[in-house]
Amino acid sequence: MKTQEKIEYKATSNACKLCSPLGASFVFRGIERSIPLLHGSQGCSTYIRRYLISHFNEPVDIACSNFTEETAVFGGGANLKLAVENIIKQYNPKLIGIATTCLSETIGEDVPMILKGYNKEKFDENFPEIVSVSTPSFSGTHIDGFHGAVRAVVDSIAVKKKISTKQINIFSGMLSPADLRHLKEIVSDFSTDYAMLPDYSDTLDGPLWMEYQEIPEGGTKIEKIASMGDAAASIEFGRILAEEESAGKLLTDRFQVPCYSLGLPIGVNETDAFFNALSIITGRPVPEKYIQERGRLIDSYADGHKYVFDARAVVYGEEDLVTGLASFLSEVGIIPIICASGGESGLLKQKILDIIPDAENIGIRIIEGADFVEINEEAKKIDPDFFIGNSKGYRIAREMKKPLIRVGFPIHDRLGGARIIHVGYRGAQQLFDIISNTIIATRQDTSPVGYTYM
């Protein structure tokens, strides 16, 4: 007898994910003079702004097409066009990045259609580029919105002029501004030109203003995006992303730009792969500066290895971040005993197994589509040594009286989320120092002796 397929319904409690328009907004904040525009109702853009502002402590303007009841019935075309016009008048942007929302998707809005035949003439040469991406919040998570927006930007702007360049395209993934700065430094140190998308290293982490800035300075230049079709190669981070549609693959398919799909460069192993790729593409050796940096990092691994050995970590966040952190933790002898993500690509388990082949024997729990209540239940079963992830895990860590090491996004309860470096040898150094010292401090504080040395 055929068993009837039964769908099991369950509420999500304290979600370990955000919705896709947030990810797209990130990307559109990282392009020169660009403004994100959410096609939907007012709440989403304000909530997303608030969420980003609490992390970055920077102004984050995100416009909205402000659906009303009539819009929901008769379509949002007029509102969208009005929004575009008002944005142009207020911000004079070079690019408007339109992301849809659950509302506009549900009523079946077709943004490219709406914008077709749009009367650009009345804005003469000041009419900005418009890129749109479909980001219904009922499918995928914020990271899908992020990668989707990157791809949409490349799709509509990149061309091939058949000028061979030495440019390397970098698709970093959802990293911190400090990470982006570090990546740029690394690529520059290979004496090569690059185009990194997005680049919110200045727009979401800038100094106080001498004069008012409608749109903070910085961001990937549109010309740079246009030239991506002529690049020598693309590098794209994310082992999960490697299996999905992406900007890098689009450039390969359309313009034959070779794409290196690598894991997020967190820890020595994954960073080595990144440096190797740079060496191959540029034909240059790894600069001495990084050999030294790597050397110091490994030296500290030696100094600290015993303190962290067999420590058990609960890791959560976006799937690619979790995979990257698991790679780093396991290379220093820490067991990422729970690897959890709100994402549901169906690939997390395999990717963790690729990095830690005996994960299942060690008892590592890999949970896709997790929420924080589930993570909490699992964590209680295993008494971990620490949590590592965004600030939303704080309540569980607090309840279990375990330290939380804050990485990724969002970090709403500490300063400096934008300044955390996760990637490269430098990022691994920071992470390793923080983790070892957290473990050492816990032992010191709970020791009856209270040693004043390690």
Interface with another protein in residues 53-82 (CB under 8 A): 53-54, 56-69, 71-72, 79-80, 82
Please, are residues 439 and 307 in contact by the beta-carbon 8 Å criterion? Answer: yes
Binding residues for another protein restricted to 79-98, rule: CB under 8 A:
79-80, 82-87, 89-91
Paired strand residues for 129: 95
Residue nearest to ligand SF4 (CB): 43
Binding residues for another protein restricted to 136-175, rule: CB under 8 A:
136-139, 141
Q: What does 191 bind: ligand SF4, another protein, none (CB cut-off 5 to 8 Å by kind)?
A: none
CB of 52 to ligand SF4, least distance (A): 14
Phi-psi region at 324: left, alpha or beta (left = phi > 0; alpha = psi -120 to 50) = alpha
CB of 23 to ligand SF4, least distance (A): 15
Which tokens sit at 99?
A: 């992301």
CA 204 to chain centre: 14
- Please identify which residue in 13, 126, 191, 292 interacts with another protein, judged by CB under 8 A: 13
Torsion sign, CA atoms 139, 141, 145, 151: negative
> Nearest-CA neighbor of 235 among 221, 224, 251?
251
> Nearest-CA neighbor of 24 among 35, 32, 33, 16?
35
> Nearest-CA neighbor of 402 among 364, 446, 372?
446
What is the SS3 assignment for 94? coil
CB of 89 to another protein, least distance (A): 6
C-alpha to C-alpha distance for 289 and 305, rounded to whole angstroms: 24
Backbone angles phi, psi at 264, to 5 degrees: -55, 130
Q: Does 41 bind another protein (CB under 8 A)?
A: yes
Q: What does 107 bind: ligand SF4, another protein, none (CB cut-off 5 to 8 Å by kind)?
A: another protein
Query: Look-up: residue for tokens 């058990």?
Result: 312
Residue 19 or 314: the one with the smaller Cβ distance to another protein is 19
Residue 31 or 80: the one with the smaller Cβ distance to ligand SF4 is 80
Amino acid sitting at position 208? L
The CA–CA distances, whole Å, from 430 to 205, 248, 266 equal 19, 29, 11
Applying CB under 8 A, what is the total number of residues that bind another protein?
74
CB of 69 to ligand SF4, least distance (A): 13
Q: What does 17 bind: ligand SF4, another protein, none (CB cut-off 5 to 8 Å by kind)?
A: another protein
DSSP state of 82: H
Q: Does 12 bind another protein (CB under 8 A)?
A: yes
Torsion sign, CA atoms 281, 287, 290, 292: positive
Amino acid sitting at position 143? I
Considering only the stretches 40-48, 218-226, 325-333, 346-354, report the one whose residues sit in contact with another protein under the rule CB under 8 A: 40-48
Binding site for ligand SF4 (CB under 6 A): 41, 43-44, 47, 102-103
Burial class (CB in 10 A: 0-12, 13-18, 19+), 285: exposed
Paired strand residues for 214: none
Residue 43 or 285: the one with the smaller Cβ distance to ligand SF4 is 43
- Please identify which residue in 25, 34, 100, 101 interacts with another protein, judged by CB under 8 A: 101
Q: Does 49 bind another protein (CB under 8 A)?
A: yes
Residue 137 or 391: the one with the smaller Cβ distance to ligand SF4 is 137
CB of 91 to ligand SF4, least distance (A): 22
DSSP state of 31: B
Binding residues for another protein restricted to 209-228, rule: CB under 8 A:
209-210, 212-214
Q: What does 21 bind: ligand SF4, another protein, none (CB cut-off 5 to 8 Å by kind)?
A: another protein
Q: What does 106 bind: ligand SF4, another protein, none (CB cut-off 5 to 8 Å by kind)?
A: another protein
Q: Does 208 bind another protein (CB under 8 A)?
A: yes
Q: Does 417 bind another protein (CB under 8 A)?
A: no
